[in-house]
Chain A
Amino acid sequence: PCLQRKILDYFKDD
């Protein structure tokens, strides 16, 4: 079982 990470876990709002 793998957890799909989200882009927002890495890149922040400008």
Chain B
Amino acid sequence: MLELRLVQGSLLKKVLESIKDLVNDANFDFSSSGFSLQSMDSSHVALVALLLKSEGFEHYRCDRNTSMGMNLGNMSKMLKCAGNDDIITIKGDDGSDTVTFMFESPTQDKIADFEMKLMDIDSEHLGIPEAEYHAIVKMPSAEFARICKDLASIGDTVVISVTKEGVKFSTRGDIGTANIVLRQNTTVDKPEDATVIEMNEPVSMTFALRYMNSFTKATPLSNTVTISMSPDLPVVVEYKIAEMGYVRFYLAPKMEE
């Protein structure tokens, strides 16, 4: 028996919108502490890791650990039928090949049930090692999205370099080059507007902008984004989901041949 009631249903809608273009199918792993998802994109260049902890739900019941394979495109179609103010409940029964999404309007005058077929997904689960990163940049998520969008109009890859001067995003393409430098800026009215650079050692890495732009679909989930880099690891682009968990995107770098 599985029953999860999320008053802020729009959160689940936003989570799906942030990952559905990167990953087609994924196993949702439910346990008593919450649910998680880990999946690579089809070309095995990026990985998404989602965690939503049980504390964030108004009601959370999961009698035994269970994994449900879902097509994220189909799940997104169903969740789009929920209003932004709706309460969403996810229900499942042991051994069933379907999951039910229930949408309740805030005034309880409209209640909808959507039953979705589950699928068997043979997915690899990867061990992500704990790591000390050379540099961690925390910045407004909207600013990061703007930079990725702007640079993608010039080139295909972005070089992200962190030094004690700041963080530099660079690209080059047929029409020219672009460099955007952000300096640490903590003297802002609101903490979410700050750019904070923690640097143990300078680092410079190259990434495909196509993936970075896909990650920025998670911007509505959080005012800030954290970018963690070490030369021998995929970059981690993390959007925290207030009091509930996170969506993390891992992206393997491009290397000089």
Cβ contact of B256, chosen from A2, A8, A9, A12, cutoff 8 A: A2
A9-B252, A13-B125, A14-B125 as given contacts; A4 in contact with B208, CB under 8 Å = yes
> Which residues from chain B contact A3 at a C-beta distance below 8 Å?
254-257
Which of A2, A4, A14 interacts with B45 by CB under 8 Å?
Answer: A4
Binding site secondary structure of chain A: mixed
What residue in chain A is nearest B234 (Cβ atoms)? A10
Q: How many A-B residue pairs have CB under 8 A?
A: 58
Give the shortest distance, in Å, between B222 (CB) and chain A (any CB): 23
- Taking residues whose C-beta sits less than 8 angstroms from the other chain, chain B's interface range is 20 to 34
Taking A1-B257, A2-B257 as contacts, is the C-beta distance between A7 and B127 under 8 angstroms? no
**Are B127 and A14 in contact (CB-based, < 8 A)?**
yes
Q: Name the residue among A4, A13, A14 with the largest chain B CB count within 10 angstroms.
A: A4
**Complex CA distance for A11 and B104, rounded to whole angstroms:** 41
Contact residue range for chain A? 10 to 19
Which residues of B have CB within 8 Å of A11? Answer: 47, 126-129, 234, 250
| Cβ contacts under 8 Å, B45 to chain A | 4-7
Smallest CB gap from A1: residue in B: B257
Bound-state CA distance A9–B44 (Å) is: 10
B208 and chain A: residue at smallest CB distance:
A4
Q: How far is the CB of B160 from chain A (nearest CB, A)?
A: 14
The one of B206, B234, B256 in contact with A7, judged by C-beta atoms closer than 8 angstroms, is B234
B233 in the interface (beta carbon within 8 A): yes
Chain A positions near chain B (C-beta within 8 angstroms): 1-14
